[in-house]
Chain A
Amino acid sequence: MEYLQSLPRRWVTLYIPLGAFLVVLLFPFYWMVMTSFKSNEELAAKAANPFWIVKPTLEHFEKLLFRTEYPQWLWNTVLISTVATFLSLFCAVLAAYAIERLRFRGSRQVGLSIFFAYLVPPSILFIPLALIVFKLGLFDSPWALILTYPTFLVPFCTWLLMGYFRTIPYELEECALIDGATRWQILVKIMLPLAVPGLISAGIFAFTLSWNEFIYALTFISSSENKTVPVGVITELVEGDVYHWGALMAGALLGSLPVAILYSFFVEYYVSGMTGAVKE
């Protein structure tokens, strides 16, 4: 009897609200897919049911890949995100190890300022950074982004790795020290292999942050062939008053897929990276 009573209750308090959340959260993606496979005639037909496709077409993807610079933007985004991520990881590993394990004089203050650096938003930095980028002769080059993305990646990665290093027993390091290992050997041969999950978390998170970055890429890059996907789609595919919704949605879909796929392989790492940075 109790089972019968509790079943509708579970539907009302759990399944229905959860279902509603999922529908709303996923609808824009469904809509992206639907729009990107519809022909222009079908998109313009007001009477037809917009939730389904009558005749799927690849024309928008064909246009995107062969008649725009989209492939170039994809390549730029991959290149910039990868280099910026590895550069940031390299800096962050050294910094996190120094702050957490070397405990040099002032390491506490440095650790705290790293946390505050993480809280500085790009939207208050982009104007002075634009001047600096220009003065360094980096304007409109991938290096402008590769060197500025670490401003938000390094603090985040350092903060996350500090938490990871803290969980590795200090005794391991002491044994190695007694055996005559140098600090560098300890870092490379003991700490890093044990911190691989942390490195993956930080790396995945940093990669998606760089992939999604917008305001720096919009400000520091001007020529079409150097743009990243988010900026390229917004600034180059929107022509005048005629919106090519099919191509825009195809561009949004293709630009989201790489991060979505990467994320699907490393969900646990991504979540632990995200929540770890918040919890520490």
Chain B
Amino acid sequence: MHKLLDNKNALGLLFMLPAGALLLVFLTYPLGLGTWLGFTDAKIGRTGEWIGLENFQFLIGDSVARLSLFNTLFYTIVASVLKFVLGLWLALLLNRSLPFKSFLRAIVLLPFIVPTALSAIAFWWIYDSQFSVVSWTLVKMGLIDRYIDFLGDPWMARASVIIANIWRGVPFVAISLLAGLQTIPPSLYEASSIDGATPWQQFWNVTLPLLTPIIAVVMTFSVLFTFTDFQLIYVLTRGGPLNATHLMATLSFQRGIPGGALGEGAALAMLMVPFLLAAILFSYFGLQRRAWQQGGSDK
């Protein structure tokens, strides 16, 4: 027994057991099961039969599914770009010398830590077609004369959910990038300013190149979570109006759980995987590059 516990491999296996068992049963197995379900006609309460690519063929021909792919890509790209630009800007602002700096940093992160479903309710109320405070203010300022139907018009609804997503995501991007900014040695800025670099040049030639690896990782996470977003849409629009805000995740839920078509829902979820893999590969090379920049010694 003692001999066994001294053996690194046996002990390693023993220590990995709780985590490994949990992850195998509730992560790896469902991943496999989900893939299999995508090729079956499983419904709630009925084990599915293998039907090959039928689900995928149906989804490709389904205009709502195609629209949800477009919505997901549009939502992810627009929200991620804006989250990156605004997040980087906020990080740069917070990196300057400021009074109450750590207090400000704590406040900024609030939208990220409160439950999204609950802050989404606040946005739902802000976007209300009759009582919206935004409409009220704009009317009082004389800029519009009718209340805006934020969630009733397809493009308006897309813009509204994207704004709510950005609101939630900017703090995460900003605080992560701020941590990256703080690792840049001040001596680099001193040296470049002695050489006569303007702040703008310093940003492009010092800050941005040194920040690139962490930007790659942060944005991968951000893209991943935006692409698979569910709760914000579920609370604000449930995919409406006219499916204009249905993302692949919300459509997969709607078809699979309330709709009962488990096979079709799983197939939709599986269609997200290629995009996620692309994001993960991107992250992997981001990490590689970081290791390379630090002489390969770092993880």
Binding site for B on A (CB under 8 A): 14, 17-18, 21-22, 24-26, 28-29, 31-32, 35, 43-44, 46, 50-51, 90-92, 94-95, 97-99, 102-105, 107, 110, 116-117, 119-132, 147-148, 150-151, 154-155, 158, 166, 182-183, 208, 211-212, 214-215, 218-219, 229-231, 233-234, 243, 245, 248-249, 251-252, 255-256, 259-260, 263-264, 267, 270-271, 274-275, 278-280
B279 surroundings in chain A (CB, below 8 A): 119
Contact at A249–B11, with CB atoms within 8 Å? no
B121 within 8 A of A: yes
> Roughly how many angstroms separate A222 CA and B221 CA in the complex, as a whole number?
31
A44 surroundings in chain B (CB, below 8 A): 131
B111 within 8 A of A: yes
A154 surroundings in chain B (CB, below 8 A): 19, 22-23
In whole Å, how far is B231's beta carbon from the nearest beta carbon of chain A?
4
Task: Find the residue from B27, B114, B230 having the highest chain A CB count within 10 A.
Answer: B114
A92 surroundings in chain B (CB, below 8 A): 19
* Minimum CB distance partner of A19 in chain B: B93
> Roughly how many angstroms separate A239 CA and B1 CA in the complex, as a whole number?
62
B104 surroundings in chain A (CB, below 8 A): 18, 22
Contact at A22–B108, with CB atoms within 8 Å? yes
Q: Mark B266-283, 1 if CB is under 8 A from A, else 0.
A: 100110110010011001
B79 within 8 A of A: no
| Beyond A50-B136, A124-B269, 18 extra complex contacts between A and B, CB < 8 Å | A24-B167, A28-B119, A31-B125, A32-B122, A94-B16, A94-B17, A105-B9, A124-B31, A125-B31, A132-B33, A151-B23, A182-B5, A214-B115, A214-B117, A234-B235, A249-B125, A270-B113, A278-B176
Contact at A275–B115, with CB atoms within 8 Å? no
> Roughly how many angstroms separate A36 CA and B235 CA in the complex, as a whole number?
18
Contact at A252–B118, with CB atoms within 8 Å? yes
Which secondary structure characterizes the binding site on chain B? Answer: helix
Contact at A120–B167, with CB atoms within 8 Å? no
B63 within 8 A of A: no
Interface range, B side: 35 or more
Contact at A208–B27, with CB atoms within 8 Å? no
> Roughly how many angstroms separate A208 CA and B105 CA in the complex, as a whole number?
18
Q: Contact partner of A234 among B113, B121, B265, CB < 8 A?
A: B121
Contact at A125–B126, with CB atoms within 8 Å? no
B78 within 8 A of A: no
B70 within 8 A of A: no
A245 surroundings in chain B (CB, below 8 A): 125, 128, 131
Q: Contact partner of B179 among A17, A263, A275, CB < 8 A?
A: A275
Can you list 23 A-B pairs, Cβ within 8 angstroms, ordered by A?
A14-B96, A25-B167, A28-B123, A31-B133, A46-B130, A90-B18, A91-B18, A104-B16, A105-B8, A105-B9, A116-B280, A120-B27, A121-B224, A123-B253, A124-B276, A130-B262, A132-B29, A212-B113, A212-B116, A229-B115, A233-B121, A278-B214, A279-B180
Q: Mark B25-43, 1 if CB is under 8 A from A, else 0.
A: 1110111011001000000
B204 within 8 A of A: no
Contact at A158–B115, with CB atoms within 8 Å? no
Contact at A94–B15, with CB atoms within 8 Å? yes
